[in-house]
Structure 1
Amino acid sequence: MFEELTKLLRQENAKFRVIQHPAEGSSAKVAEIRGTLPGQGAKAMLCRAKGVPGIFVLAVLSGDRKVDFRKVGEVVGGKKASLVSPEEATALTGCVMGAVPPFSFWPDVRLIVDPKLLESYEEIAFNAGRLDTSIVLNSRDYLCIAKPLLADIAVQEDEN
């Protein structure tokens, strides 16, 4: 996945940098290691929506926000979404949970990004198919290359 992703970014002349780091489970610690803010982290969660069989959703939002699973389901015409199992995520993407990048290379996976991630930061950061490697990518380049559906999928901040 890492090689496929960096090849795509180079082909598209994207502004990005690769950061090697220890595998870390905490978003805040990874952000500190990367030298980025927690909100710059593009948290990618693979979901399935009730009522929409055969379609998966890669929901992407700022690392400091929470996903609203009801909103995710509604965006794809279904009911409340839920995370797929770690085994299913690995089988579908080839990446372990937490390392899935905010890109969809899979035809059955719809990419939905909360626009606040891209509006708030010039660069986004994410694990690049591996837990020990991150990419920091220009937000505009991400939008042009990934071509996500933009939709409000985060819990409203006053609901937290």
Structure 2
Amino acid sequence: MTRLEAIFKANLDLLAQAGITFNQWRHEPILDFATDEKIAKQLDWIGTHSKSLFLKLKNGDFVLYLTEKDKRLDSKQLKALLGKRPSICSDEEMIEQLGCVPGAVCPFGLPPHIIMVVDRTLFKHQELLYTPGDPEYTFGITGQDLDRLLSLLPNTIHTL
């Protein structure tokens, strides 16, 4: 089993463990926002597209920031929350730490040492769309189910 297959399976298992019903779509690989928007139009998605930014703190810790696709990274807010200045990780570091493909970072099933910061606005959306590792798939869960999903993760989780 490849790392991407393992991430995909871990997401299916996590959703089943949480008892969360979800939507699933298979499509051409989404590795950038232009393709994401094209596929969204083709498949008539109405959910909120999420964005997972993989960051590194000055002390060497890794952080995944889960937010809305169009939201910009506010480094000052993250520094205030985490105590250290974040910077975007290189593709190489992200692949080594997560096993994801650049442009398709999965927010769930991360190694336990990865800190998560979740944008609190995500909890309010009717449907959140995310990649489950394999860029040929998109999953959709409700914002209300996000809290239940996060509660099953071994990671340290903050909201912002």
Pair in the same fold by TM > 0.5? yes
Aligned length: 146
Q: Is the 8 A contact 1:41 1:125 kept in 2?
A: yes
2 CA distance for matches of 1:109 and 1:90? Answer: 13
Letter in 1 for 2:54: L
Task: Tell me whether 1:101 sits opposite 2:106 in the alignment.
Answer: yes
Alpha-carbon RMSD across the aligned residues, in angstroms, is: 1.8
Task: Tell me whether 1:45 sits opposite 2:25 in the alignment.
Answer: no
Structure 1 equivalent of residue 44 of structure 2? 35
* Cα deviation, residue 76, structure 1: 1.2
2 CA distance for matches of 1:126 and 1:14? Answer: 14
* Cα deviation, residue 94, structure 1: 1.0
Q: Is the 8 A contact 1:99 1:127 kept in 2?
A: yes
Q: Is the 8 A contact 2:18 2:148 kept in 1?
A: no
Structure 2 equivalent of residue 131 of structure 1? 135
List alignment gaps of at least 5 residues for structure 1: 152-160
* Cα deviation, residue 103, structure 1: 2.1
Please identify runs of 4+ aligned residues in structure 1 that moved more than 6 A: none
Identity across matched positions, percent: 24
TM-score by length of 1: 0.82
Q: Is the 8 A contact 2:67 2:122 kept in 1?
A: yes
Letter in 2 for 1:11: Q
TM-score by length of 2: 0.82
Structure 2 equivalent of residue 16 of structure 1? 22
Structure 2 equivalent of residue 61 of structure 1? 67
2 CA distance for matches of 1:77 and 1:104? Answer: 25
Q: Is the 8 A contact 2:55 2:64 kept in 1?
A: yes
List alignment gaps of at least 5 residues for structure 2: 1-6, 152-156
1 CA distance for matches of 2:63 and 2:54? Answer: 6
Distance change (3 Å), C-alpha of 1:96 and 1:149: same
SS of 2:102's equivalent? coil
